[in-house]
Structure 1
Amino acid sequence: MIETFLRRHEMPPTTFGRASVRDPRLVFDLRGGREPGERIKRRVEHFMNTYRRSSGQ
């Protein structure tokens, strides 16, 4: 789900992590097997559901 979001919005993994949960390593850690807690999952889902590109893109 996150990987699809990154491709669709052409967003670097570090930008996604910083913007969603203030952790630039989030995506890399998830790719490496990290299991996020419920709070992180909710924050990531909220970010993806409410994300809007700036009007210049």
Structure 2
Amino acid sequence: MLIRSIEQFLRQHDMPATKFGRMAAHDPRFVLDLRMGRIPRPHTEARIRRWMSEYRPRAQEIAHAH
């Protein structure tokens, strides 16, 4: 299920849901909508999963996490 993968990603990267939504889906409410039961289209889900697999935090985000 996509929302479980996203929730894990958010914890792993200490990223707010709205930031993820803006970066991955160009929609700050994306994760909130998924939490409320939104079901993404297969193409959207594939695009989000690809974005997560290719995500690399910038140096300043890594420094902030430590």
Runs of 4+ in 1 over 4 A off after TM superposition: none
| RMSD (Å) for aligned C-alpha atoms | 0.8
- Counting aligned pairs with the same residue, the percent is 46
Query: Secondary structure at 2:59's aligned position in 1?
Result: coil
Structure having greater relative contact order (Cα 8 Å, sep ≥ 6): 2
Give the TM-score, by structure 2 length: 0.81
What is the rounded CA distance, in whole Å, between the counterparts of 1:26 and 1:6 in structure 2? 13
Once the two structures are TM-superposed, the CA of residue 42 in structure 1 deviates from its matched residue by 1.2
Match of 2:33 in 1: 29
Q: If you compute each CA radius of gyration, which structure gives the higher value, 1 or 2?
A: 2
Match of 2:21 in 1: 17
What is the rounded CA distance, in whole Å, between the counterparts of 1:7 and 1:36 in structure 2? 21
Give the TM-score, by structure 1 length: 0.93
Structure 1 portions without partners, runs of 5+: none
Query: Which residue of 33, 40, 44 corresponds with 2:48?
Result: 44
